[in-house]
Amino acid sequence: MDAAHSKGRRSTGDEAQFVQGIKETKELEVTAADIDDKRLSVDTAHSKTSEDQNFIFKTIPRDRPRSQPPQNKFKRLSGPENSNNKGGLVITNARNTLKRSSSNGNIPNTFESRNNLGLAGDSNNNFGDIQVTRHALYKEAIYTCVHMLGAPSPNRFPATQEEMCLYTHEAFSASHQEQVAVLDHVRNEPFPLTIINTKVRRAQGLQGPKQNGFVDSYCLVTIEAEHSLGKREWQKFSITSPLRSKTLDHSKKTLKPTAESRGSQVYERIPQFVKTSVQRHKKNPEWDQRFQCLSLRPSVDYLTVEVWDHSIDDKYVAKAIRNYTEPEGSSDLDATLKNVHANADRKKGDIFLGKVSMRVSEIPCDGVDDWFNLKSQSQPKDTATYGKIRLQIWLVHAYRHGKHFEEVAEPKVILAYLWDWVLQTERAKYDTSNDWDGSIPQAATCLLFQYALQNGISEDTHAIIRWNAYAKHDLNLHSVENRLQELNGVIDKQVKAKGDGKPPERIRNSQAEIEDRIMDIVKNKICPIIRNHLKEHIDDVHEALRSYKECLQILSKFEEPFLLQKVQWLFDAALRMSILEWYQDVYRSTVPSRGEVKKSEYVSSVVQVMSEVNTLLKNGAAKWGPEFWLIVSVEYLPIAYDELQKMVIHDVETICWLFFEFYFDYKKLRKILLKNEENEKELCMAFFNLYAQTQIFVFAYKEIFPEGKKSYCCLNEYHRWFRPILILWLGFALIRGSSIISKTINIDSNALENEHAMTSSSALDTANVFCQFINFWNTLNWPDVPESYIIIHFLLDVICSFTILYAELKHAKLDKEGYYDPEGKYTISERLCIALNNIEYVKEHAQRIPREINLDNLVALLEDACGRSLEIIDIEKAEEETREQTMKIVDRHMDEILRSVGLRVQREISKYVEDSYWRLMEVGSSTQLHGAMEPIIAYLEDNIITLQQSLLPYNFLKVLQLLWDLVCRGLLDNASKFMMTDTEDQQNFFRRLLQVIPFLQSYFEGGDAGLTTTDMYTEEFEQTHRLFSYFTMSTEDLIPIYYSSRCLDHIKYKGSANFGTVRVRTGYWNEKLSIEVMSAANLTAHDEPLKVFQCFQTMQPTSDPLVELELKPLTHFPDEKKYSTAVQWKNLNPTFNETFHWNISPNDCLQQAATLVVTVKDYDLLTRNAFLGEALYPLHLIPGISQHSEPQPMNLKLHEANMNHPVLTVLKSRNWDATAKLFCEDQFSRFVEPVAAK
């Protein structure tokens, strides 16, 4: 026991004596000698008992005369002092002192001498107007302990009689004399009668004698003495058979008290056995029938449930029908069949299937509901089973103290006072109410349960009494939660047992009282914690939520839950107030007064508040949202957001309105951007952070609220608050980005971004500027689609300008630092590689931006919102053209860098190629060819390694392509420097060069990292390879190639006629080739004007054109004549209309390189005719040669003289060849440089 009650505790000897007296009292049994008819009147059958008691007393007649009460026990109140007490009773016996008044006066249910007893406050139980003394309660408790009903339950009520008595003594602080007196009085009180309630539910696995295995089963429930069990003859007869009845009569005489005893009438009226209905043809029958039996000696009586098979033969039925005489006037067929069945049953004994026996005193006090194995009657200790049966058994007392009901206080009142006494006793052991969790010892729990059980107080009534008793005390929330769970569990159990979904009438009658108690708990216990839940420990909030859930479940079980909505409203209001107070506290502690700090600091403080708000929503989604929803099904985030958005709208819109008043003037905005003041930058940054936090708060709305629910209109238009400052955000971003790029190029330093390419810090910083723009756009996420489309195009234009700016600055820096100076030896260094890498790196990042910002999605949204208008199409085209132009400009800057480097490197390459040529001339065999190219290979090796290690793959290929072109150009330029003495030496030398070229190609291919074959077939390579091939050919082969290539060039030419055109008609018929020169147009003016009377007239330049026609080459047409038209004086668009004929065969025209050469010259009387242009046309294309068609006029474009044709270059180098010299002289004599018009 606790130290709080140690002063009222007995000594060790007194305690032992007290326990011994209890044991002696327990051993007393009811006999015929110690039952006093005057102390126990049969009139108790008229008492107002519980449901369990009413069931049994229906068999007792209520019109029997009452026995007179004992003398000197009761007296009527009379006299003026009791004039208001009409018919009241005062019980003043030695056991208790109770006063019950039948008046309608409002007398509070309080203890007499409350201050001395230390009981709880006022009781609101509607149990009548009663005053109870401490001594009376103490005797009731001792009586309950001594006459403990049933055995201790190990799980729920494990306390024994001794433990309950010791706790009662300690709780009431009873002295030794009082203990002895109360114990003696209780021992002299009559023992209560024990009623066993048995509900036979169903059976399983019954084994009958019939062939099909089915049985017609029924059950017999009876109370038997210990010495009557196990008799073998009992297994032969059913209880309803005559032979079994004799045995029962014998046991009945042994057990039944004498006629003068207190239980004679009750014992006679209660049947000693009861029988269930017969369930036919079932192995697993179900009865669900309830019965009551009376036990006078629980310590020796046994509750027996037997299962029998109802067996009737056909011959016994037929004989019973023949012998049955129907009563006169009876026409009930069912009654007739029952009587016949009963007669047949008495003629034939039923078959015993099994039984269950248990001592009444061993039945647990809280009852049992379980399956029991059926045993044999003849061998009780047999372990074999004969099926099993489901039984529900519970106990109850009848006729406590042997008093009339009117003579004692109602048991519910006594139970309520016992609860008050126990709770007040336990509460006194702690310093504060918060230290006590409402728990009471097991002995106290068993005592209160036993009192309710012995007095037939139902579980739901006991739960309400317990609930009201706890509600009077200021318990902590954990204890309140436990009490609510207990009450809710009892109500659920009763509702389930009733089956109609409604609580029983006893609970409905207490609805108002329960609702008042719950309202007090919600107001005083739950709502304060919810209102302060952001500062409370999460365990306390859990307890509050669970308690609130129990309250809702209890209130929802009533048909008209008047307070359910009010309780929900209180909870919702508390939650909303918690959010509002939290926001006010944060705002008050974070945001200073406007006059105390700068504007940017003031806005930053509001940003901090918004950050706290978003953090609250985030924590609410992770922490509080699941708790509120899973426990009480309350949506936490919608409520919190609903309260927060009201304050956010007010505060953010107000601060924007205050600061943006002068931002609507674009002139002022321009001045702000030009000044570029630091204060304005800080203010813009602060407002952008505020915009970002506000946007996070707005976007949380879509995740919290379901679709279709609208928020406040002002919150949907939040971006309009920040529209005036949007221009400053974009302007300062542009200024800051360009400043960063300019500065970072000046302080450039190398940075290894990856292991394959070198870049510098300027490229990384520029790419970082682009990333900042992307982050700015993603953070901005402007809700207005048309406006956002304009903003994103502005950002793309800015990024394109930054890309061009970077390429220009990088190129200019290389030029400024003298990287392209021609002095000194030049090698490709890392500076070039880094410069190219930087430009390419920035270019790649700029190209990825439209994809990273999801420009296509934005265009789709714009089309959905506004349609596919012409304005949108124009904007898209302009933006695409801007990006393409940007990439072209950047590529042009890179090409200029490479071109400048190529001019510088070309001299070095040409020198090494020349060295390789000299070595190649000295080579004696083809095996030494590769060694001859060692100088150029060594130079390339040194530079290509650097390139491959330092350049990006794309740039490496571009520089490698440049080097390949430079090598080809060096081979081509140095070829004419080496003069040979004869054709054979020349051909051998260039054959060696052709053998070296594949070797150089394989070097530049270099596997997957080098150039492809297609990449190496550049114009320079083709010229070089063609020239080297021409050097290996004879003069006779080169001349036709010259004319064939010239014809092909003239036919493929698609450019403009810069030297004019000549119109001719060609044809072949009658073995003749006919050429008609019709006219010419837009000829070049070659003659200077004749100036006469200079001060009066000036003539324009002109020409005197004529056209010469000849067939080439001479090897094909050695005897053919050359024709010339007449001179057309002073005419640039002359008309000739002259026709010329050649007598040649078609086969001559079909020869390779057979060409018609049309030359236009300016006639000069004193000097040689000047060359104005020529046109070459293959003869095999003339109509009549290749196809039979009519001659058609055609315009031949005139071309300038090609003095650098590779065939002429080769032939010109062969000064030892007379044919080559003659051909070159003929060609050069025809060419006179044309004079451009002035």
For 85-105, what is each residue's pLDDT tens digit?
333 322 223 233 333 333 333
Last residue of a domain, one of 669, 702, 735: 702
Query: Domain holding 928: CATH number?
Result: 1.20.58.1100
Confidence of residue 472 (pLDDT cuts 50, 70, 90): confident
397 by DSSP, 3-state: which? strand
Q: Does residue 529 belong to any structural domain of this protein?
A: yes
In a domain, 338, yes or no: no
- How many domains does the chain divide into? 7
User: Which range, of 35-39, 1043-1047, 1067-1071, averages the lowest pLDDT?
Assistant: 35-39
Chain-centre distance of CA 1232, in angstroms? 85
Summarize the confidence of residues 868-878 as an average pLDDT: 76
Verify that 906 and 873 share a domain, yes or no: no
Domain match, 773 and 889 both? yes
Residue 208 domain-assigned? yes
Res 602: pLDDT = 92
The per-residue pLDDT for 127 is 38
Q: Is 1137 exposed, middle or buried (0-12, 13-18, 19+ CB in 10 A)?
A: exposed
At 1082-1137, the pLDDT tens digits run: 998 887 765 544 544 456 788 899 999 999 888 888 888 889 999 999 999 999 99
Same domain assignment for residues 850 and 990: no
User: 567 with 602, same domain?
Assistant: no
| C-alpha distances out from residue 471 to 419, 518, 729, 801, 1015, Å | 11, 9, 63, 78, 95
Give the residue, 703 or 578, on which the prediction is more confident: 578
**To which H or E segment does residue 289 belong?**
strand 286-295
Of 363 and 478, the one with more pLDDT: 363
The answer to pTM > 0.75 is no
The reply to whether 54 falls in a domain is yes
pLDDT band (50, 70, 90) for residue 738: confident
Please check whether residues 1010 and 1081 belong to one and the same domain: no
Q: Which of 395, 476, 480 is nearest to 433 (CA)?
A: 476
The DSSP 8-state label assigned to residue 1089 in this structure reads: P
The answer to whether 828 and 947 have CB atoms below 8 angstroms apart is yes
Domain identity same for 1197 and 1058: yes
Q: What is the CATH number of the domain that holds 1108?
A: 2.60.40.150
pLDDT in tens, 741-791: 888 888 776 554 444 457 788 888 888 899 988 888 888 888 888 888 888
Q: CA-to-CA distance for 560 and 580, rounded, in angstroms?
A: 33
Residue 86 tokens read as 């009409």
pLDDT in tens, 637-678: 999 998 999 899 999 988 888 888 766 676 777 777 777 788
pLDDT tens figures, 451-467? 888 888 888 888 888 88
CA distance linking residue 711 with residue 643, whole number of Å:
12
46 pLDDT higher than 60: no
Which pLDDT belongs to residue 1135? 93
pLDDT the model gives residue 60: 30
Q: Residue 199: CA atoms inside 13 Å, Cβ hemisphere, count?
A: 12
Residue 1198: domain span: 1038-1230
How confident is the model at residue 911, as a pLDDT?
Answer: 83
Q: Could you report the per-residue pLDDT of 1200-1221, keeping only the tens digit for each?
A: 888 888 888 888 888 888 888 8
How far is the C-alpha of 1226 from the C-alpha of 1221, rounded, in Å? 9
- Range in 33-42, 413-422, 1009-1018, 1188-1197 with the lowest mean pLDDT: 33-42
Using the 3D structure, point to which of 1033, 1056, 1080 is the last residue of a domain. 1033
pLDDT of residue 1153: 87
**730 is a domain residue:** yes
Query: Quick one: 203 and 249 in the same domain?
Result: yes
Residue with tokens 């003594």: 169
Nearest alpha-carbon partner for 1157 in 1177, 1127, 1142: 1177
Looking at the DSSP assignment, which residues form a beta bridge with residue 203? 389
| pLDDT for 392 beyond 60 | yes
Query: Are 880 and 1010 part of one and the same domain?
Result: no
Lowest mean pLDDT across 96-100, 586-590, 847-851: 96-100
Based on the fold, state whether residues 418 and 372 are members of the same structural domain: no
Q: Is pLDDT at 1078 greater than 90 in this prediction? A: yes
**Final residue in a domain of this structure, among 667, 702, 737:** 702
Confidence (pLDDT) at 1176? 92
Looking from the CA of 903 toward its CB, the CA atoms found within 13 Å total 10
Shared-domain flag, residues 15 and 101: yes
d(C-alpha 947, C-alpha 959), whole Å = 8
- Does residue 344 lie within any of the structural domains? no
Residue 285 placed within a domain:
yes
Please count the residues of the chain. 1238
Q: Phi and psi dihedrals of 793, rounded to 5?
A: -70, -35
Q: Which residues pair with 305 in a beta bridge?
A: 221, 356
Give the tokens for residue 1110.
């000849």
What is residue 1159's predicted lDDT score, i.e. its pLDDT? 92
CA atoms of 655 and 647, how far apart (whole Å): 12
Reply yes or no: is the peptide bond before residue 1113 cis, omega within 30 of 0.
yes
pLDDT higher than 60, residue 1157: yes
Both 460 and 486 in one domain: the answer is no
Interatomic CA distance for residues 866 and 880, integer angstroms: 20
In angstroms, the CA 800 to CA 794 distance is 10
Domain co-membership, 828 together with 735: yes
In whole angstroms, what is the distance from residue 654 CA to residue 694 CA? 13
Q: In which residue are the tokens 């309660």 written?
A: 137
In the DSSP assignment, the letter for residue 430 is S
User: Does residue 331 fall inside a structural domain?
Assistant: no
Residue with structure tokens 């509600």? 471
